[in-house]
Amino acid sequence: MSVAATSPESNPGSTETGPTDARRLVLLRHAKADWPQVSDHDRPLAERGRKEAPVAGRWLAGTGINPGLTLCSTAVRTRETWKLVVHELPQRPRTVYEERMYDASLGELIALLNETPDDVRDLLLVGHNPGMHALADALSGGAEGDALARMNRGGFPTAAIAVVGFDGSWKSVEHGVGRLLDYWAPHD
């Protein structure tokens, strides 16, 4: 994995800030959803999604990142994705099911990040496109690198994960403040 702990003396799952205020934001798009005759909010995972989500969880566990907080959309497909992902993690982070994540714009997602308490070092968002891709792209600015090239080439398919790093407070999150540390998609 190319994502390393931000400081050797810190516990990756810790919510305590260290000497550098380095933070990581993990963006997870829900796994593949089914299209039954229900409202969009109530769409469950498809069989493929139920297979993809644990694989995404194993990839995330392999990075060594253990979020201190997870914000998950209230949509059925995001909640089901999170339940399958979290079983693969070494520790279960505190989880908040956040209504504002469903169908959130880029600005609304940044506003949610700005509300995150600064004692949270690593934050995971479980959400939807186009928001997850737009947020990863916006925070990463014009940075270059293999992860960004792979994300831009493949888009942000279901169950994809982007890891963005930045220094400072969650209140300071805005366009271009971060760097894309890693990107993974089920078909990589």
pTM: 0.89
Dihedral sign (CA 77, 94, 139, 5): negative
Is the pLDDT at 28 greater than 60, yes or no? yes
Both structure tokens of 64: 């060594």
3-state helix, strand, coil in the chain (%, to 5): 35, 20, 45
Please give the average per-residue pLDDT across 17-21, as a whole number: 55
Provide the H-helix boundaries in 9-167: 47-63, 76-86, 106-114, 131-140, 146-154
Place of tokens 């933070």: 23
d(CA 106, CA 103): 10
All structural domains of the chain with their residue ranges = 21-68+103-121+131-138+162-188
Q: Which CATH number fits domain 21-68+103-121+131-138+162-188: 3.40.50.11610, 3.40.50.1240, 3.30.1490.110, 3.80.30.20?
A: 3.40.50.1240
Residue type, 131: G
Both structure tokens of 91: 């520790």
d(CA 170, CA 186): 29
Both structure tokens of 44: 């469950």
Both structure tokens of 2: 């190319």
Q: What is the pLDDT of residue 156?
A: 94
Is the pLDDT at 125 greater than 90, yes or no? yes
Is the pLDDT at 187 greater than 90, yes or no? no
pLDDT band at 3 (very low <50, low <70, confident <90, very high): very low
Q: What is the pLDDT of residue 138?
A: 94
* pLDDT tens-place string over residues 65-101: 989 999 999 999 999 999 999 999 999 999 999 999 9
